[in-house]
Amino acid sequence: MTRPANDNFLRALLKEPTDHTPLWLMRQAGRYLPEYCETRKRAGSFLNLCKSPSMACEVTLQPLARYDLDAAILFSDILTVPDAMGLGLYFAEGEGPKFERPLREEWAIRDLTAPDPYVHLKYVMDAVSEIRRALNNTVPLIGFSGSPYTLACYMVEGGSSDDYRNVKTMIYDRPDLMHRILSVTADSVTSYLNAQIESGAQAVMIFDSWGGGLSAAAYQEFSLQYMRRIVAGLIKEKDGQRIPSIVFTKGGGLWLESIADIGCDAVGLDWTIDIGEARRRVGDKVALQGNLDPNVLFASPEKIAVEAKKVLDSYGPGNTGHVFNLGHGISQFTPPEHVTTLVNTVHEYSRQLRAQAA
C-alpha cells in the first residue's frame, strides 16, 4: 500500500518534511456547508445520515470538493460507541444528543460490555471502506473516536451538561464505578479505532472534548491514563505504512507535557495556548495540530489571513511537525467562502516561509 498522492498530512504527523503546512478542519463536513444540509435533509435525521455508509461517504467528500484540504475525516459521531453499548442514543430537536438509558445504577454499570465493532458498528466500517475507495488514494482518511472520559460524560449525564454534576459526583463518591465505565469504554474505543484502521483509516484521532474541565489530579486519573491505554493498544502499522495517532484535549494546555508523553504521534491544541510556546514545551517529542480560534472565520478575509499567518509564524521555522487546524470545531454559521481564504492562505504562506528558509 503506497501513501496517498498528497501525503503531507501523514508526513507532518510523523515529523517528516512537507512542501507546505497541511491543513484540515475539525467538523469540516457539517452544517456550514449548504450541500451538507441538503444531504442531511434527504437522510431524514442525523442518525440516519451517520448510519448510511453511502451518505456518510458523500458528506465526507463534500468539503474536499470545495477546498484544497490535505485530509478527509470520517463523517460519524463520537456517540456511536455508547449507542452500540445499548444506551439508546437519540437526538431531540434543538437539544442535541440524549440517551434513553443513562448510566446511573450500579447494576447497569457492572453489566456494561464492549461492543463488537464489526457487528454493532459495522455501518461505520462500511463507511470507512467506501470513503477510502472514493478517495482513490488522493489524500489520507482520518478515523476517530471520543475519549473514554468524554463518552462517559454523555453516558452518565444522559446528554450534554453545563456542570457535569452527575459525572463528577460519581468520580468523587464512587470512583470504582467511574473506573468501571472508563475501563470498558477504553477497551471499546481501542477495538473501534483498530477496526477503522483495518477498514482503511490511515490516521486516528481521540477527541477528549471535556477532559479540560477536570482538576489536574482527576485529569490524570480519569482521562489521561485511559487515553494512554488506548494509544498503547492501537495498530501502529498497516500494509507497511505507519498509522499515526492524534490526541486532543480541549482546555488541556496546562497538561501539554503529560499528553505528549502518552505515546501519541501528535497533540491537538485549542486556541488558548500559543503554538510556539507549545512547541518549545514538547520539543521534538510529538507533532502539533492547531490552533486558530474558530471564531476568526467570522472576520473579514483580510483579518482571517492575518490571524492564520500569526499561527504559522508562531510555530516557527522548519518544515516538519505542524498540521494546521482550528482550535475546535468549525461553527455552523461560518461563511463557506471564508474557509477558502483560510486554506489558500495557509498553503501559500507556508510555502513562502519554506522558500525563505531554503
What pLDDT score was predicted for residue 278?
A: 98
The alpha carbon of 127 is separated from its chain's Cα centroid by a whole number of angstroms, namely 17
- The residue annotated as part of the active site, out of 11, 32, 36, 40, is 40
Give catalytic status of residue 280 as yes or no: no
pLDDT for the residue 161: 86
From the candidates 77, 83, 208, 270, give the one annotated as an active-site residue. 77
Which tens digit of pLDDT belongs to each residue from 39-63?
999 999 999 999 999 999 999 999 9
What stretches in the chain show pLDDT beneath 70?
1
Beta strands, E only, the chain: 72-73, 89-92, 96-99, 141-146, 203-208, 237-238, 241-242, 245-249, 266-268, 287-289, 322-323
Please tell me the distance from the alpha carbon of residue 306 to that of residue 345, in angstroms, as a whole number.
9
- Location of C-alpha cell 507533532: 287
- Range 212-221 contact pairs with CB under 8 angstroms and sequence separation of 24 or more: 212/249, 212/250, 212/251, 212/252, 212/270, 213/164, 213/251, 214/149, 216/254, 216/255, 218/171, 219/249, 219/252, 219/255, 220/255, 220/258, 221/175
pLDDT at position 1 is: 62
Q: Is 239 a catalytic residue?
A: no
DSSP 97: E
Angle at 230 between CA 226 and CA 231, to 5 degrees: 115
Q: At what angle do helices 225-233 and 175-199 cross, to 10 degrees?
A: 30
Contact partners, residue 125, CB within 8 Å, separation at least 6: 117, 118, 195, 196, 198, 199
Active site residue 180: no
Does residue 110 carry a catalytic annotation?
no
In the predicted model, what is the mean pLDDT of the chain? Answer: 96
Total residue count of the chain as it appears in this document:
358
CA dihedral 8, 10, 16, 17 (to 10 degrees): 10
Collapsing DSSP to helix, strand or coil, 207 comes out as strand
What pLDDT is recorded for position 26? 97
Catalytic residue among 27, 132, 228, 279: 27
Q: Could you read off the pLDDT of 318-348 as tens digits, one per residue? A: 889 999 999 999 999 999 999 999 999 999 9
pLDDT at position 220, please? 98
**Is 77 one of the catalytic residues?**
yes
| pTM recorded for the entire structure | 0.97
Strand 237-238 with 203-208, pairing = unpaired
